[in-house]
């Protein structure tokens, strides 16, 4: 298997807004992260709030604010993406790599029909007639499980339920057959039944199109349900990478064990990763890292 996405010693620092000279340096939001995702793999990243998951995901697509300093190497299909200019990033987005976010409502234009938004995404990347793009959009809407897609095509986003809007976002993300889909908490805003359906859909994509997926979540149940491998982040660092079943059966790292112990049944659906314990300092973290690798 070949790597579709690989991180080597990646660090992201946000410039401090504090100007006084005595201010302590801001620790990196992502620190020394290295791992590779293989073709067709669904790779989960878990970690408590603020552990750097979104920062890591956004670094791939050049979606970090300009104040962010990214170092190391991030390769998509063997091409370095750190330092690409806006045009180069734009051509990579949608085609090679697509991204979906937690809240579809924020990503969809409220004034525009959902079908046209998908069709425009298609037209932005290839030469195709309006009619052809419309037909393709309807078939994508059907594929993501929107019943009677043709009659839903002209609906504005607010006429759809949250789960349907999320499906529209997934349809738009798939419009150009991306090899890599990065999904940042794609189901967190949805109720449990719809969550399960959207996750099943992500599993289908991999099966039918061989899509490689980086799935960010703080829900251990999501990891158990769809991921092949999972990385655990804490304080910007990647503490452990394991096959999903091994992570639950045999967690290597003390922090991972603490996480699993804190969720009584191992991987209850809909559970969130707790913050444990209050605030660990860097010495604790280093000690745990050492314990975890022993
Ligand atoms: N634009 C920004 N400017 C400054 N600091 C930022 C910025 N974005 C994120 N950070 C900081 O980077 C760290 C990691 O944040 P990030 O959003 O990546 O966490 P996360 O794991 O995605 O959390 P959550 O589960 O809440 O989404 C946090 O300390 C956060 O305050
Ligand atoms: Mg996040």
Residues 59 and 120 in one domain: no
Residue 277: both structure tokens together? 């314990």
Strand partners, 180: 97, 212
Q: Which atom of ligand 1 is nearest to the CA of 55?
A: 18
Query: What's the pLDDT score for residue 19?
Result: 58
Residues 160 and 186 in one domain: no
Is there a domain that residue 116 lies in?
A: yes
Residues 173 and 209 in one domain: no
For residues 59 and 40, give the distance between their C-alpha atoms in angstroms, rounded to a whole number. 21
Which of 11, 27, 31, 54 is the pocket-test mutation for ligand 1 (most atoms within 8 Å of CB)? 54
Residues 29 and 147 in one domain: no
Residues 188 and 58 in one domain: yes
Q: Give the range of the structural domain holding residue 218, as residue numbers without chain letter.
A: 3-96+178-293
Is there a domain that residue 156 lies in?
A: yes
Is there a domain that residue 24 lies in?
A: yes
Query: What's the pLDDT score for residue 271?
Result: 47
Ligand 1 centroid–CA 75 distance in Å is 22
* pLDDT by 10-residue block (mean), the chain, 294 residues: 88 77 82 97 93 96 92 96 92 86 84 95 90 95 91 96 89 88 86 80 87 90 89 94 91 84 54 45 47 46
Q: Number of structural domains, the chain? A: 2
Quick check: CB of 50 below 6 Å from ligand 1? yes
Query: What's the pLDDT score for residue 285?
Result: 46
Residue 21: both structure tokens together? 């000279």
Residues 84 and 189 in one domain: yes
Of 58, 169, 33, 31, give the one whose Cα is nearest residue 105: 169
Contacts 24+ apart (CB under 8 A), 238-244: 238/32, 238/33, 238/34, 238/35, 239/288, 239/289, 239/292, 240/292, 241/35, 244/44
Quick check: CB of 29 below 6 Å from ligand 1? yes
Domain boundary among 177, 193, 220: 177
Q: Output the 3-class SS for the chain.
A: CCEEEEEEEEEEEECCCCCCCCCCCCCCCEEEEEEEEECCCEEEEECCCCCCHHHHHHHHCCCCCCCEEEEEEEEECCEECCCCCHHHHHHHECCCEEEECCCHHHHCCCCCCHHHHHHHHHHHHCCCCHHHHHHHHHHHHHHCCCCCHHHHCCCCHHHCCHHHHHHHHHHHHHCCCCCEEEEECCCCCCCHHHHHHHHHHHHHHHHHHCCEEEEECCCHHHHHHHCCEEEEEECCEEEEEEEHHHHHHCCCCHHHHHHHHHCCCCCCCCCCCCCCCCCCCHHHHHHHHHHHHC
Query: What's the pLDDT score for residue 277?
Result: 43
Ligand 2 centroid–CA 48 distance in Å is 9
Residues 189 and 202 in one domain: yes
Query: What's the pLDDT score for residue 292?
Result: 46
Q: Which atom of ligand 1 is nearest to the CA of 102?
A: 27
Of 281, 248, 233, 259, give the one whose Cα is nearest residue 49: 233
Residues 172 and 114 in one domain: yes
Is there a domain that residue 103 lies in?
A: no
For residues 210 and 203, give the distance between their C-alpha atoms in angstroms, rounded to a whole number. 10
Query: What's the pLDDT score for residue 224?
Result: 85
Torsion over CA of 120, 126, 127 and 132, rounded to 10 degrees?
-50
Domain boundary among 158, 177, 196: 177
Domain boundary among 144, 159, 177: 177
Residues 83 and 197 in one domain: yes
CATH number at residue 255: 3.40.50.300
Measured from the alpha carbon of residue 67, the closest ligand is 1
Residues 208 and 124 in one domain: no
Q: Which atom of ligand 1 is nearest to the CA of 57?
A: 18
């Amino acid at each position: 298997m070949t790597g579709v996405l690989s991180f080597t010693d990646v660090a992201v620092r946000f410039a401090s807004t504090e100007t006084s000279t005595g201010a302590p340096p801001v620790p990196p939001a992502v620190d020394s992260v290295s791992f590779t995702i293989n073709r067709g793999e669904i790779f989960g990243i878990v970690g408590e709030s603020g552990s750097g998951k979104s920062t890591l995901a956004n670094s791939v697509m050049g979606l970090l604010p300009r104040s962010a300093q990214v170092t190391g190497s991030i390769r998509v299909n063997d091409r370095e993406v750190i330092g690409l200019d806006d045009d180069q990033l734009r051509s990579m987005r949608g085609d090679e790599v697509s991204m979906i976010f937690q809240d579809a409502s924020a990503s969809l234009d409220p004034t525009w029909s959902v079908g046209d938004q998908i069709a425009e995404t298609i037209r932005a990347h290839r030469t195709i007639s309006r009619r052809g793009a419309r037909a393709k959009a309807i078939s994508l809407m059907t594929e993501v499980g929107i019943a009677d897609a043709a009659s839903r095509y002209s609906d504005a986003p607010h006429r759809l339920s949250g789960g349907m809007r999320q499906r529209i976002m997934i349809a738009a993300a798939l419009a150009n057959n991306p090899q890599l889909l990065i999904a940042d908490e794609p189901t967190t805003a949805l109720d449990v039944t719809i969550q399960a359906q959207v996750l099943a859909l992500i599993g289908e994509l991999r099966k039918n199109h061989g899509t490689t997926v980086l799935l960010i979540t703080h829900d251990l149940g999501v990891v158990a349900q769809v991921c092949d491998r999972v990385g655990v982040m804490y304080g910007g660092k990647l503490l452990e990478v394991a096959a999903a079943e091994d992570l639950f059966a045999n967690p290597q790292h003390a922090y991972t064990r603490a996480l699993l112990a804190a969720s009584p049944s191992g991987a209850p659906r809909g559970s969130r990763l707790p913050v444990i314990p209050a605030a660990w300092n860097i010495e604790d973290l280093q000690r745990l890292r050492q314990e975890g690798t022993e």
